[in-house]
Amino acid sequence: MTRLWNAPDDFPDEMLAGFTAASGRWVRQVPGGVVRSTRDPRPTVSVVVGGGSGHYPAFAGLVGPGLAHGAAVGNPFSSPSARQVESVARAADQGRGVLLCYGNYAGDVLHFGEAEAAVRADGIDCRTVRVTDDIFSAPAGRAEQRRGIAGDFTVFKVAGAAAAAGHEMDTVEALARRANERTRSMGVAFSGCRLPGATEPLFTVPEGRMAIGLGIHGEPGIAEVDMPTADGLAELFVERLLSAEEVPVPDGPRGARVVALLNGLGSVKYEELYVVYRRVAEVLDAAGVTVADPHVGEYCTSFDMAGVSLTLLWLDDELERLWSAPADTPAFRTGSVDTSLLLPAQIAPDVESGSEPLPESSQVSRRLAARIVTTLDASHTAIDAAAEELGRIDAVAGDGDHGVGMRRGTRAAARAATEVAARGAGALTTLHAAADAWSDKAGGTSGAIWAVILRAVGRELGDDREPTREDLVRGLNRAVEEVTSYGKAAVGDKTLVDALVPLADTFAAAVEAGTDPTAAWSQAAAAAETAAQATADLLPHRGRARTHGERSLGTPDPGAVSLAALARVVEQSFTTVG
């Protein structure tokens, strides 16, 4: 279990502050994460990595000369928000472009993608390489759907070395993609981890059994098998990674050279890892595979999960040169970096928060903004009470962080809305401030999606008019359109969309039939609630739960459940707008 924390919601911020204080030789803190505290004498392409916290040394521990230029760091097991990624990318940029590199998780894809678009809109060459090394998360024929686990590290290292060598963006991107295409990983777990403040682990494994194919966010494994010996585990790893469909070199494994990375996920001791690696080395040698560079230790963890993964990077001459190039970071050092050539980082001045002028607003819109604040306050209260249950149902087939993320998001949204409404903001500006804060503090898929919902509704309400019930209908319909376009989910995929669509459709039908808005919203909230509970009978087709299939049967989708709960809050505190 995670034992040392103050307030659970403050854990990621306090962790990052402590890390920066201890690692000032390499990094400095910026909003959303860290960037290098030094810069090269000549500008290079900047490699920005990132993901949720709880995985150290991924991601902040890999920032330094020869590796990453910055890391965006989210809440435990949740992607950083788009604003956090954008902040780190802009701080790391040296004028030759920014390569974003991260594991292929739904929330990361949404937030990093939004940040990439914002940075590119300002004329900065910004591109993305997603890591897809986990062989158990999708079959070889759908490798683009695989998630990134400890293989993140090999791709980051190659990208960072290519940038340090002075290559242009096209080359850095191509080499990072080649490293990803030639990286394969497999993980197992013996017990789950417990997030700060949680009372139960995210999953358990029966005594004498082992979960195989787990992720790094506390997701349970794909299957369970009897606990093997150390040699048996080593043989399982190598057998699976050397299977015909997984060897990414055309002539087969014999004669190939690899980097072998045996990774502890949090509480497996180094001595145990070395016992396993002893047999890994023997089996690879018997298969004719040369380990050019072995590494045993912790490279991508999952808090205190008892688990192990093996990663193989299949080398060619260029990848081997880049892998062997010097690097100097808080968590990984190899070769000799000439630090005498490094210069102090250029630090942009901070912009005072809350100093931006607000758009003009009408009195009626300001009254509506006050009601929005009341609703968001009530939303945070409701989610705070439900957070533990939301986390429980999320942990059945996911990473168990939905309740924590929703609690952080609703709290931040309520605070931001209160601040701008007190300064005279109208409904649109208040909802957009709440959306930015929700996304920023919650991170993850839910943070991104709720920001889309609030912004969509806000655009229809405006700042300078008295909105009608038809405006709210259009706002909900716009939210459906933008959420489904943004997240690519449809009804039946077992996501928040399964509750959002009935909410919008029922409200629109009731309003069109002439029903009073208060009654219309009550009908819509009931429809959302019924639809959310019905997701228990669905199989997931999106997000992290997708890889666990039937495990989630019988449990409703946490995103749909939380949306239905907030629809009931609106019914109680804010049911009419016109």
Can you say how many angstroms the Cα of residue 253 is from the centroid of all Cα atoms in its chain? 33
Query: And the tokens for 387?
Result: 């957070």
Specify whether the CB–CB gap between 542 and 488 falls below 8 A: yes
Number of C-beta neighbours around residue 466 at 10 A? 16
Rounded distance between C-alpha atoms, residue 187 and residue 221, angstroms: 9
Which of 527, 563, 564, 557 is CA-nearest to residue 542? 557
Specify whether the CB–CB gap between 289 and 260 falls below 8 A: no
Query: And the tokens for 276?
Result: 């396993």
Specify whether the CB–CB gap between 436 and 83 falls below 8 A: yes
Name 226's bridge partners: 209
Radius of gyration for the alpha carbons in the chain, expressed in angstroms and rounded = 24
Which of 301, 307, 300, 279 is CA-nearest to residue 291? 279
Half-sphere exposure of 22 (CA within 13 A, CB side): 11
Q: In the chain, what's the furthest Cα-to-Cα distance?
A: 78
Query: And the tokens for 284?
Result: 């690879």
SS3 of residue 574 by DSSP = coil
Q: Which of 69, 167, 217, 402 is catalytic?
A: 217
SS3 of residue 541 by DSSP = coil
380 is catalytic: no
Specify whether the CB–CB gap between 52 and 78 falls below 8 A: yes
H helices of 396-468, in order, are: 402-422, 427-442, 444-461
Rounded distance between C-alpha atoms, residue 432 and residue 48, angstroms: 27
Which of 92, 53, 23 is CA-nearest to residue 331? 23
Name 307's bridge partners: 189
Active site residues: 217
